[in-house]
Amino acid sequence: MFRLPFALVALILLPGCELLTGLLNGGSGMLETRTSSVQSQDGIATIDVDVSGESAFQLTATSGQLLAVEAVNAPDGSQPLYWDDWSGVNSLTSAVWLEGKDTVLNWPVRQADGNLSDGTWTVDVAVVDDQGYYTDDQVDVVLKLKDDSDLSTGTVNARIVYADGLKQDSVVTAGVQDAVTRWAEIWAPYGINLETSYEDSSFSTDQPFPGEGSEQAEVSSGANGSEITVLITETIDGSTDYYGIAGGIPGTLDYTDHALVIVSWLTNAGGDGEFSDDDIRLFGETLAHEVGHYMGLFHPVETTFDYWDALDDTDDCGGQSACESALGDNLMFPYPVCDWTSCTPQDQLTSQQAGVNQRYTGTL
Ligand SMILES: [Zn+2]
């Protein structure tokens, strides 16, 4: 990429001008939205986050180049997140992965990350070209800060959007509503209150993965800025292989083509088009699991049994039988554990997992 001499770059640098664009009410907490545009320099966009009493923030950055969070710097000069500390077998946030032209960071992720102290935090976002080299670009930033002094309880607003024709299908709508009841029951013991709204749409009943569909930015554009969009489809990526998929770990409260969770009603119904009681239980667990990803939770162990989350109180088991025994009832276990007659209920969260979901900026 053509690079301007430094002096000229300095002249055209824009300050990170912040504009208060919204203040939304939800639950007991308040959510504030600030937007800005930052020009990167030597491959790094330095984004200021001014904190005064807020308890968590979510940064969504987009540009024409690949983006990943490189570091989070606290007002006291410490650096509680550096990307290379999380490039091994434990996963804290997908914000550090160089995957696309947007990146989403929720901070703090865990109780162990400490509180959000007052002062100016900075987030260093790497801007990288498709050859893997640092480059420079304008980075558009949406910051959401929540003012919520109680991180042990909160309300999550889920906006359930039916793909084309499904809201007119009573089998689907009855199944979704029963599954949502189950979802709320799963979350209640962990202090998470679920509020839902329902919408009709004409979006396709088969959707590719989040970020790959032409309609997906439009799906998210109907959200109110504090809601998580859940699109109910018939199939995902042309098959019934997928129960559901989340647009990010964490996912954004802003409007992008990753700003949704997609769930297949047909897969959750077992493929036969009818919901048994076990199907409803599994469907509710799928909704809580996928939205759990969106709120920052990784699987406690991946299906290869050699990658784990960043939490101390989820077992770092090895091998299939040991992991099914230690974690098979965990909501975030990567697959259903079933025998000939039934599947193990997967509805348990550890204290630290619940803490991640409570720290999500959309949990108000
Ligand atoms: Zn999962």
Q: Are residues 13 and 139 in the same domain?
A: yes
Domain C-terminal end among 118, 147, 176:
147
Question: Which residues make beta-bridge pairs with 82?
Answer: 71
Rounded to the nearest angstrom, the distance between the alpha carbon of 75 and the centre of ligand 1 is 34
Predicted confidence at residue 38, as pLDDT, reads: 98
| pLDDT tens sequence across 32-48 | 999 999 999 999 999 99
| 245 lies in the same domain as 190 | yes
The CATH number covering residue 323 comes to: 3.40.390.10
DSSP state, 319?
Answer: S
- Give residue 287 CA to ligand 1 midpoint distance, Å: 10
Q: pLDDT grade, residue 340 (50/70/90)?
A: confident
Q: What is the dihedral of CA 319, 298, 70, 210, to 10 degrees?
A: 120
Identify whether residues 203 and 103 lie together within a single domain.
no
pLDDT at 307: 97
Per-residue pLDDT tens digits for 169-226: 999 999 999 999 999 999 999 999 999 999 999 999 999 999 999 999 999 999 999 9
296 and 200 within one domain: yes
Say if 337 falls within a structural domain.
yes
CATH of the domain at 121: 2.60.120.380
- 128 and 238 part of one domain: no
pLDDT of residue 14 exceeding 70, the answer is no
Confidence of residue 28 (pLDDT cuts 50, 70, 90): low
Same domain, residue pair 264 and 234: yes
Q: Is the pLDDT of residue 233 over 80?
A: yes
Contacts of 98 (CB under 8 A, 6+ apart): 66, 67, 68, 126, 128
How many residues appear in the chain? 364
Provide the token pair at 177.
């509503």
Statement to judge: residues 330 and 234 lie in one domain: yes
| Position 127 pLDDT exceeds 90 | yes
* Structural domain span for residue 169: 154-359
Residues 219 and 141 in one domain: no
Q: What is the mean pLDDT of the chain?
A: 92
Q: What is the pLDDT of residue 359?
A: 98
Distance 357 CA to ligand 1 centre (A): 15
Q: 0.95 cut: is pTM over it?
A: no
Q: Ligand 1 centre from 114 Cα, in Å?
A: 26
299 alpha carbon to ligand 1 midpoint, in Å? 6
- Domain membership of residue 188 (yes or no) is yes
Residue after which a domain boundary falls, among 120, 147, 174: 147
Examine the domain organization and report whether 105 and 213 are in the same domain.
no
Residue 1 lies in a domain: no
Q: Do 131 and 161 share a domain, yes or no?
A: no
How many angstroms does the Cα of residue 247 sit away from the middle of ligand 1?
11
Are 74 and 201 in a shared domain?
A: no
Identify whether 364 is part of a domain: no
In a domain, 198, yes or no: yes
Please give the distance, rounded to the nearest whole angstrom, from the Cα atom of residue 322 to the centre of ligand 1. 19
* C-alpha 332 to ligand 1 mean position (Å): 6
Ligand 1 centre from 286 Cα, in Å? 8
Rounded to the nearest angstrom, the distance between the alpha carbon of 311 and the centre of ligand 1 is 16
User: What is the 303 CA–ligand 1 centroid distance (Å)?
Assistant: 10
Residue 350 zone, left/alpha/beta (φ > 0; ψ -120 to 50; rest): beta
Q: What percent of the chain has pLDDT over 70?
A: 92
CA of 36 to the centre of ligand 1 (A): 32
Q: 277 and 189, same structural domain?
A: yes
In the reported structure, the alpha carbon of residue 51 is separated from the centroid of ligand 1 by a whole-number distance in angstroms of 32
Residue 277 belongs to some domain of the structure: yes
DSSP string for 32-98:
EEEEEEEE-BTTEEEEEEEESS--EEEEEEEEEEEEEEEEEE-TTS--SEEGGGGSSSEES-GGGS-
- Min mean pLDDT across 9-18, 65-74, 236-245 is at 9-18
Ligand 1: centre distance to CA 178 (Å): 21
253: number of Cβ within 10 Å: 29
What is the 13 CA–ligand 1 centroid distance (Å)? 41
Let me know if residue 52 belongs to a domain.
yes
Task: Give residue 300 CA to ligand 1 midpoint distance, Å.
Answer: 10
CA dist., res. 130 & res. 323, Å (int): 37
Looking at residue 17, its pLDDT comes to 30
Ligand 1 centre from 77 Cα, in Å? 35
- Tokens at 222, concatenated: 């109907």
Task: Answer yes or no: is 183 within a domain.
Answer: yes
Whether 57 and 51 have beta carbons less than 8 Å apart is answered as: yes
Q: How many domains does the chain have?
A: 2
Among residues 116, 147, 178, which one ends one of the domains?
A: 147
Compute, in angstroms, the gap from residue 294 CA to the centroid of ligand 1: 10
Ligand 1 mean position, distance from CA 249 (Å): 10
